[in-house]
Homo-oligomer: A and B are copies of this chain.
Amino acid sequence: MSTRRFAAPDDPALDQLYAEVAEADLQPLWTQEGLMPGAPPITDVAHLWKWKTLRGLAESSGSLVPIDRGGDRRVLSLSNPGLGGLPFATTTLWGAVQYLGPGEVAPAHHHTPAALRFVLEGEGVWTLVDGDPVSMSPGDLVLTPSWRWHEHHNPGDTPMLWFDGLDIPMVRALDAVFFEDGPDEMTNRAVDPVSSAEQWYAGAPGLVPVAGPGGAAAPPAHSPLLAYRWAGTDQALTAQLAATGRSDAAVRFTDPTSGRDVMPTLRCEMHRLLPGPRTPSTRRTGSSVWVTFRGAARAVVDGRAFELEAGDMLAVPSWTGFDLEAHEPTDLFRVCDTPVLEALGLYRENTLDRHQDVS
């Protein structure tokens, strides 16, 4: 369907037909190029944003740009060079670096796109989710699920920088974006060491309250646990390496009450690689953003090599070959849209027979 087209003869009747078809807000299928090519017509490209650049520009923004209602957040979004100027990291994912300076407040709002924060630098910031104060530290994953009120504040004296991952492009493609401002003033400046969500759900793996905070209400579509702490993630990866004796380990962040992904549209994983063999080259439908937490590694995407260091962010488009090789112990956070492709019966995965060549 993608290669051969009906070659229209030079026929006035056909010209007339095409004119009438266009006039009637119709289009002939047989003259369309590239509607359904053999493999996905990917336009976003593999791209690496270096932490050195991201950090510097975020810091400059911190000096020059206040946080005001309207913008609400001091965020620099990853803008994939293949997407013609759209502020999206991949076709389906928003990725960004957010900077919150000492004493600053990013005011409350909520929106149907789901968001997650993976903390890269700083201490002593709180994200309030529906008023529940969730502290943030490097390596922590913090969720602000669809339509939950959230605001950030930094009562300390150092800035914090984190990675923002959202499903904005996908929710836009479904015409389902809603947004509302919250109150301008924070109602809760408490800096509790443990969020209420963690008090309920972070006791130990497999332990859930007999009667949860929501009572008999239907459980939400997302995880009720809103923070996954680095100490726990680190411990899980360490234990998995011990269990397998391998040089790579990976955990998925899930809803502890159901085992499902933390949010219906986004999968989150943490990968640890020790120096060792290159991972198999694999292609998958759906796109990812990888965020380097620590270490140094090389990623290869469709034959192009990218060197990853702490803080670096890498966009990996759908159906591109991908593998990793660590130069030193390396921890990588990954966010991807796989739950969507799985739910819709569109997920495919293909491990290549041999490693892709590196150009």
Tell me the complex Cα distance, A192–B97, Å: 43
| Interchain CB contact under 8 A, A177 and B41 | yes
Q: Shortest distance in angstroms between A202's beta carbon and chain B's nearest beta carbon? A: 5
- Please indicate the chain B residues that have their CB under 8 angstroms from the CB of A135 in the complex: none
| Interchain CB contact under 8 A, A146 and B179 | no
Copies in the complex: 4
| Interchain CB contact under 8 A, A37 and B179 | yes
Q: Shortest distance in angstroms between A351's beta carbon and chain B's nearest beta carbon? A: 12
Q: Shortest distance in angstroms between A6's beta carbon and chain B's nearest beta carbon? A: 5
Contact with B along A1-44 (1 / 0, CB 8 A): 11111100001011001001100111111111001111111101
Identify A175's interface contact among B77, B287, B345, CB under 8 A: B287
| Interchain CB contact under 8 A, A232 and B207 | yes
Q: Give the number of residues in A that approach B within 8 Å (Cβ atoms).
A: 141
| Interchain CB contact under 8 A, B36 and A111 | yes
Q: Does A276 contact B (CB under 8 A)?
A: no
| Interchain CB contact under 8 A, A91 and B243 | no
Contact with B along A42-63 (1 / 0, CB 8 A): 1010010100011001001100
- Please indicate the chain B residues that have their CB under 8 angstroms from the CB of A77 in the complex: 26-29
- Please indicate the chain B residues that have their CB under 8 angstroms from the CB of A275 in the complex: none
Q: Does A92 contact B (CB under 8 A)?
A: yes
Contact with B along A261-288 (1 / 0, CB 8 A): 0111100010100000000000001110
Q: Does A158 contact B (CB under 8 A)?
A: no
Q: Shortest distance in angstroms between A55's beta carbon and chain B's nearest beta carbon? A: 11
Residue of A30, A211, A286 with most partner-chain B CB within 10 A = A30
Q: Shortest distance in angstroms between A164's beta carbon and chain B's nearest beta carbon? A: 9
Using A21-B61, A206-B223, A222-B345 as known contacts, list a sample of 18 further A-B pairs with CB atoms less than 8 Å apart, ordered by residue number in A: A6-B65, A21-B76, A25-B78, A29-B72, A29-B74, A31-B71, A38-B179, A112-B346, A194-B239, A203-B233, A203-B236, A206-B228, A208-B252, A213-B243, A221-B345, A258-B258, A265-B345, A340-B344
